[in-house]
Amino acid sequence: MLPFCSMPIQRLMSDEALLQELGQRIARLRLERNLSQAQLAEQAGISKRTLERLEAGAAATQLSLFLRVLRQLDLLERLELLLPEPQPSPLALLEQQKATRKRASRRRIAKPASSWSWGQP
């Protein structure tokens, strides 16, 4: 059984430690959903051995395979927390408000075309 205490993910963690922590979290989430490695691997469309390496924190796993597992565990939306949509700066919002129209312009009445042409006094 995996320990249920996890360490917080920190900037100074090595890649190996980070991959190992993420793998342990995937394994705990899989067990909470009462899925075997074989079941989750089949649902995610990856081999059981790939899932084993992912849960062990092996560096050879690809990001696309990691995403497949997250999708099957219904955790894909949490990536929004990892990479949120960039928000416009307050200055850009003010500029945008200035640019939006506040009212409709008046209808202009078309003037009749003049009969003047070049060369006429």
Phi-psi region of 119 (alpha: psi -120 to 50; beta: other; left: phi over 0): left
Q: What is the DSSP letter of 10?
A: -
Question: What DSSP line would sit under 44-110, residue for residue?
Answer: HTS-HHHHHHHHHT-TT--HHHHHHHHHHTT-GGGHHHHSPPPPPPHHHHHHHHHHS--SPPPPPPP
* The predicted structure's pLDDT at residue 45: 93
Spell out the long-range contacts of 41-48 with Cβ–Cβ below 8 A and sequence spacing 24 or more: 43/72, 44/68, 44/69, 44/71, 44/72
User: Structural domains in the chain?
Assistant: 15-82 (1.10.260.40)
* The predicted structure's pLDDT at residue 52: 93
Which tokens hold the place of 62?
């690809």
pTM: 0.58
Residue range 57-78: average pLDDT? 80
CA-nearest of 79, 23, 13 to 51 is 23
Residue range 81-97: average pLDDT? 77
pLDDT band at residue 36 using 50, 70 and 90 as cut-offs: very high
pLDDT band at residue 83 using 50, 70 and 90 as cut-offs: low
pLDDT band at residue 12 using 50, 70 and 90 as cut-offs: confident
